[in-house]
Amino acid sequence: MTVTATTMTPRTRPELRQSTVAQTVALSKRSILSLWRQPSLVVPSLIFPLFFAALGTSSFSRATTAVPGFPAVDSYLDFALAGSVVQGILFGSTVGATALAVDIENGFFDRLLSSPSTRSGIIVGRMAGGMVYGCFQTVFFIVVLLPFGLSIKGGVAGVLTMAAGGTILALAVGALMSAMAIKTGSSEAVQGAFPLLFIAMFFSSAFFPKETMSGLYKTLAYINPISYLVEGFRDLTIDGFSASAVVRAVVIPAILAMVAVVLALWALTSRLGAR
Amino acid sequence: MTALNDTTTSTARSVASTRTFPASVGLMRRSLVNITRLPSAFLPSVLMPIFQAIAFSGTFFAITQIPGFPTDRSINWFLPLGVVMGAGFAGIGIGFSTIRDLEGGFYDRLRLTPTPRMSLVTGPLLAALARAALVTTIVFIVGTLFGARLTHGPLGLIPLYAAALGIAAIGTGWGLGLAFIFRDMRAAAIMQLTFFLVIFLTEAQTPLFIMQGWLENVARFNPFNSVIRLSRLGYVDPPISWDNTWSGLLTIAVFTLLMLLFARRGLTRLSDV
């Protein structure tokens, strides 16, 4: 009997890097496909923000001229776009995190962990699906609302900035909810946390200018980072392209994303350490 | 033999009719006990209207500055909307629990008992009314703490409770009917979506005279607009009168009847399966 010993050649750094990238890309594809193949999960995050935009435009158009402190806009639709985008992304990004929690519940996450795939790839791959979807949502809302009178003063540059901001915001929300999914391992807990995001959005200037609010609501809207993020998107729509608007539309979500990604990785490390 | 059959049938009917109410009360008590045993299923129907009333009144505070707005307190405008939403969800929540019972097999066991069929509709209806009354009371108290005031005194609570209980009854019929037809959680999505649309395509956010475009036309012909108006009678400036009350009451009466018939018909079909 002859035993043939094969020599294991250590992989080089570029090979490892390539492998990490390839794994992340494969897992990203999986998360994007899972969104594509389950339209019932994502359609509400496209329909509801549009419905609220239509409802608000018909309900509050007179307020744009009758309420002191309301910014000068052609219509409430221009004002509402930013809120719709943020609302849609909050809805949509929760879907990806819920899918991650389901992976944990049904054991697929453990199989991934026991495979030689990179830890960061597992997380980044799942978030990548949410980022692509966030970008798509931003463009989708703009394209759908344009025939109904939406005008974007920021032009093409404004649209591109909003798409970038939407993508990063999706990463931020997706990472935050993924941290919760990894920490709890429960899809119910992720869905249960969603109302908190919704509440945070309501106590901001997403639907009405914070200058028109009073008392505690006004204070909450002023300290809520969502207000400034939404106003960045809004300024690109109603005022035009400016450095200040770009900073608010892109930098605020980027800061939130960094914090949320660190939280998600910390949750993963502590989950692995607990085994 | 025929006489014996007749006697047996009439006795059975008599027993059934006398048992309908106790059986309904029993089913209502079971549903109310579930509030403490499964609070996660009930709490959203209390927290959601409270949040809605508070968040809407804070966010859209400035709309009361529009000339002609029927109240100068935004919480007065949005509290009744929160109550109606909460009461409606208390009603369709009964539909959710019925789906759970259908999926878990409890409903089959219930149907095997000599419980009168009608009690399977009236029991959940009583439960929904009790839940809606509880939700309305809690939202009223919290809303009052947040600054809501009855413009015409305690009398204003009557239309508020009438609208809440009416919407709960309609929601129960709708929820039960859909639960009996679909027998799974697909019905839950339809219940929520339709209820949400029906309520929001009214003066939910602003009065008709402020609206512009498609919503004004839809809200003007949406019968549930009169129910929303009924709920707000005690909180807005115009006086409470029969002229602005009857249409809401009529809508509640007609839709309650239709929805309970829908539920009863669904139950009969369920028995045929």
Q: In this predicted model, what pLDDT tens digit does every residue of B14-68 receive, in sequence order? A: 555 557 888 888 888 888 887 788 777 778 778 889 998 999 999 999 999 999 9
Looking at residue B1, its pLDDT comes to 47
pLDDT level of residue B10 (50, 70, 90 thresholds):
low
Cβ pairs bridging A and B (under 8 Å): 74
DSSP letters spanning A70-123: PPP-S-HHHHHHHHHHHHHHHHHHHHHHHHHHHHHHTTHHHHHHHTT--HHHHH
Binary contact (A199, B200; C-beta < 8 A): no
Question: A95 pLDDT exceeds 50?
Answer: yes
First to last CA, chain B: 32
All residues of chain B having their beta carbon less than 8 Å from the beta carbon of residue A59 are 205-206, 210-211, 215
State the pLDDT at residue B110: 83
Rounded distance between C-alpha atoms, residue A120 and residue A236, angstroms? 34
CA distance B114 to A169: 58
CA distance A139 to B103: 41
Cross-chain CB nearest to B62 (options A56, A67, A199): A67
- Neighboring chain A residues of B200 at a CB cutoff of 8 Å: 55
Structure tokens of B154? 């305690």
Tell me the residue length of chain B: 273
Q: Which residues on chain A place their C-beta less than 8 Å from a C-beta of chain B?
A: 54-63, 66-70, 195, 199, 202-203, 207-208, 212-217, 220
Handedness of CA B32, B36, B41, B46 (dihedral sign): positive
* Closest residue in chain A to residue B211, using alpha carbons only: A59
Contact B63 A199 (CB under 8 A): no
Region of A24 please: left (phi>0), alpha (psi -120 to 50) or beta. Answer: alpha
DSSP tag of A249: I
Axis crossing angle, helix A13-37 with helix A119-145, rounded to the nearest 10: 40
Mutate which of B63, B64, B75, B228 to test chain A, going by most A C-beta atoms within 10 A? B63
pLDDT in tens, A172-208: 999 998 898 888 888 777 777 777 788 888 889 999 9
- Residues from chain A that touch B208, judged by Cβ atoms under 8 A, are none
Gap between the Cα atoms of B127 and B119, Å rounded? 11
* Most confident segment among A55-59, A133-137, B224-228, B238-242: B224-228
pLDDT digits (tens, 9 = 90+) for B63-118: 999 999 999 999 999 999 999 999 998 998 888 888 888 888 888 888 888 888 88
